[in-house]
Amino acid sequence: MNKKKRQQDTTLDKGVDDGKIKKLRGTLLITNNPDIRIFEDICNELLKEVFEYFDGYEIYYSFFNLNKRFQSLLTSSTLRIKIHTSFISKPIFQKYYTHFIEPYKHRIKSLHLSNPCIMHLFSNISQYSQLENLLLDNTESQYLENILLHITSLSNLSSLVIHINDNSNQIQIYNQIFLLSTLKYCKISFDKNIQLEQLPISTNISSSIEHLVIIGKCYLTELHNFLSYLPHLCRLSVKYINAVYNQIIENYSFISNKLTFVSLKLDTVKFVNFEEFVKNHFNQVKQCYISTTRDMTYLEANKWEQLIISYMPCLQIFNLQHTIKNFCDYPEDIFETLFNDFNSQFWQERQWLFRYEPNSGEYQQGIFHSIQPYRKKNFLIANNPEKIRSDVETLHSVRHVIIQDHQSITNCSKYFPNIDKLTLADRCSLHCKWFVTDKFHQMIPLKQLTQLNIDIHDIYFHELVHILFYTPNIHTLRLKSIKLFTKEVSSLEKDEISQLKFNENKITNITITDDYSLRAIKILMKFCSTLQHITIGIFRDSLLPTVRFLLSENIETLSSLCIIGVNTMWSEKLKSLIESDKDRNDYSIKTISDKFYLWW
């Protein structure tokens, strides 16, 4: 999405023309400029440009009550506001909502709602007349459907992101989305146990959506019917697409004439089904990213050549990844033959090059995929022979690296200069401290990481302390489990170095999905001094004591808790425990699907 340029303000600083604005921008870069000694010396026009890079809460907290000039500037009718409501404590949010959001809702251009306990405050969203971007996450069905009902009157709304849970009326939601006359970008995600519902082929409804992203399961037939409502669609990304075995879509009563970018992850879709889909929707496609599995027909180069020549004449970028499960069941020479077929003149002329990785990842998988140019955002480092060409050693597009096995780092010669997210898979081990080596630091600039996922089942506290020392800018930490040696407790409490390492972190959000203990949580809370939100799973006898501790300790920055995997029994137990806390009265509880939310 291209960032919409803010219109030049002509009501403030009327004497400042474009030339002077540019000159002032330049003077801000000169530290010894005598005319700008302090922040308040900056003119209003430039301050407003600066404020547009901040979230509304950051502006409110830092400047609203500073002095009359800043308060007047922030309440100016020309300053557009961005609101992101996550991880703000309830008392602070109530003041923020009363003094800033509600009075100036007509100037809010971007609204990100992820706290399920505040959705009712935004039910009459039609009053947010300047709203351009809306993101709704963790939203109960009744509020989601109500909000969508009211946004049809918003004449500036161009971007919508929603999450659909298992109680939602999908058909009603889609029909409301199609009525949004100015909508250009739409992203829809689903709970893992639901999928896109089937609509009838459109006969008279035409949506303005140009870019659609679907994160969740859908069948090829459902996707085809959905596209009939989107005649202006240019970009399409979908995860994951299934198909009924040997199902053929017979009613291809329309074709996509504007679709130029496609990224699809196919699961149980046969090549013959996909081929028909391509014939009717890919005639204008210029960039095609396809991820497939199961059907080996996807590795027949001659079929791809015929399909591309006949039905994809505009194609410029072609990226194919096919995962071969249980590849040991196939003869070794079959992959060499397939690989050679993708080296013909057709592929060489277009510089669409491929490679095959045996034993890539878990479950004896093999992966056949494109290697040049590398434009993917995710990269898997697995324990396999190194076959990547030297001209792709620096992968600028990658933002997320997954390390399957720490031993595979030895064979990897890649550098990821723009990474901000790292995942350590279950076969990694932190015992040997491989992450402190110069080679690993050259490969991944750890200090710029903001998200760290550790899917290792047996990770001990001292190991976590060590890796966080090298990743000081992590704000989101996800753990599969956290364990604590008995001898670790006293040493961690007394070890000032360990405490210093943890106190330097910037972690605001922690998730622990599986094993944890009350003792480990207590140590974690002591060392994570900036923590605002924690998500935990239901683990044996640890859950209720952990919740009791989190409520009773009055941890200064912590204000919200999410518990995943909750059923009716656990929900009642948690409510009873929370209600028994006589010292905590101002709190909110919401249950959405299998998630229990507590906010105070």
Name beta bridge partners: 478.
453, 511
Helix (H, G, I), strand (E, B) or coil at 136: strand
Token pair belonging to 57? 């809460």
Helix (H, G, I), strand (E, B) or coil at 341: helix
- pLDDT tens digits, one per residue of 433-451: 788 888 888 899 999 999 9
Cα 519 → chain centroid = 31
Least confident range of 305-319, 384-398, 528-542: 384-398
Residue 197's identity, in one-letter code, is E
- What is the pLDDT at residue 431? 72
Greatest mean pLDDT among 229-238, 418-427, 500-509 lies in 229-238
Contacts (Cβ under 8 Å, ≥6 apart) of 592? 116, 138, 139, 140, 165
Rounded distance between C-alpha atoms, residue 348 and residue 180, angstroms: 45
pLDDT above 90 (res 188) = yes
Q: What's the per-residue H, E or C state across 447-509? A: HHCCEEEECCCCCEHHHHHHHHHCCCCCCEEEECCCECCHHHHHHHHHCHHHHHHHHCCCCCE
Give pTM, 2 decimals: 0.85
Average pLDDT, the chain: 84
C-alpha separations of 302 from 267, 290, 339, 368 in Å:
22, 17, 12, 16
Q: Which helix (H) or strand (E) holds 438?
A: helix 438-443
Torsion of CA 399, 402, 408, 410, to 10 degrees: 30
Which residue did the predictor score with more confidence, 498 or 47?
47
Q: Are 242 and 220 in contact (CB under 8 A)?
A: yes
Confidence of residue 231 (pLDDT cuts 50, 70, 90): very high
Rounded distance between C-alpha atoms, residue 186 and residue 171, angstroms: 16
* pLDDT, average across residues 485-507: 64
Residue-wise burial string across 550-565, b where 16 or more C-beta atoms lie within 10 A, e elsewhere: bbeeebeebbbbbbee
Name beta bridge partners: 451.
421, 476
* pLDDT, average across residues 412-436: 86
- Dihedral over Cα of 394, 395, 401, 402: its sign: negative
Confidence of residue 490 (pLDDT cuts 50, 70, 90): low
Chain position carrying tokens 């907290």: 61
pLDDT above 90 (res 151) = yes
Identify whether 373 is preceded by a cis peptide bond (ω within 30 of 0): yes
- What is the pLDDT at residue 14? 37
* pLDDT, average across residues 21-29: 46
What does the angle CA 103 – CA 108 – CA 112 come to, to the nearest 5 degrees?
A: 115
Q: How many other CB atoms sit within 10 Å of the CB of residue 135?
A: 16
Max Cα–Cα distance, the chain, nearest Å: 77
* pLDDT, average across residues 573-586: 87
pLDDT above 50 (res 390) = no
Domain boundaries, the chain: 17-51, 218-373
- What is the pLDDT at residue 434? 82
* pLDDT, average across residues 231-250: 82
- What is the pLDDT at residue 387? 42
Nearest to 443 by CA among 468, 418, 476: 418
pLDDT above 70 (res 5) = no
* pLDDT, average across residues 396-402: 92
- pLDDT tens digits, one per residue of 326-385: 666 666 677 777 778 898 999 999 989 887 766 554 545 677 778 765 677 888 887 654
Q: How many other CB atoms sit within 10 Å of the CB of residue 302?
A: 10
pLDDT above 90 (res 143) = yes
pLDDT above 60 (res 391) = no
Nearest to 445 by CA among 424, 422, 466, 426: 422
Q: Tell me the helix, strand and coil percentages in the chain, rounded to 5.
A: 35, 20, 45
- What is the pLDDT at residue 365? 65
What does the angle CA 423 – CA 428 – CA 431 come to, to the nearest 5 degrees?
A: 120
Greatest mean pLDDT among 31-40, 154-163, 237-246, 543-552 lies in 154-163
DSSP category for residue 591: E
Token pair belonging to 556? 């200064």
Confidence of residue 2 (pLDDT cuts 50, 70, 90): very low
Cα 170 → chain centroid = 22
Least confident range of 174-178, 433-437, 450-454, 464-468: 433-437
- pLDDT tens digits, one per residue of 59-118: 888 888 888 888 888 887 778 899 998 888 999 999 999 999 999 999 999 999 999 999
- What is the pLDDT at residue 7? 38
Burial of 34: CB neighbours in 10 Å, binned 0-12, 13-18, 19+: exposed
Rounded distance between C-alpha atoms, residue 152 and residue 149, angstroms: 6
* pLDDT, average across residues 314-322: 92
Least confident range of 48-62, 388-402, 571-585: 388-402
- What is the pLDDT at residue 381? 84
> How many percent of the chain have pLDDT more than 90?
48
Token pair belonging to 226? 């959905």
- What is the pLDDT at residue 228? 93
Contacts (Cβ under 8 Å, ≥6 apart) of 281? 224, 227, 255, 256, 259, 262
Residue 527's identity, in one-letter code, is F
Chain position carrying tokens 């605002």: 532
Rounded distance between C-alpha atoms, residue 591 and residue 380, angstroms: 35
What does the angle CA 57 – CA 564 – CA 377 come to, to the nearest 5 degrees?
A: 65
What does the angle CA 232 – CA 233 – CA 234 come to, to the nearest 5 degrees?
A: 115
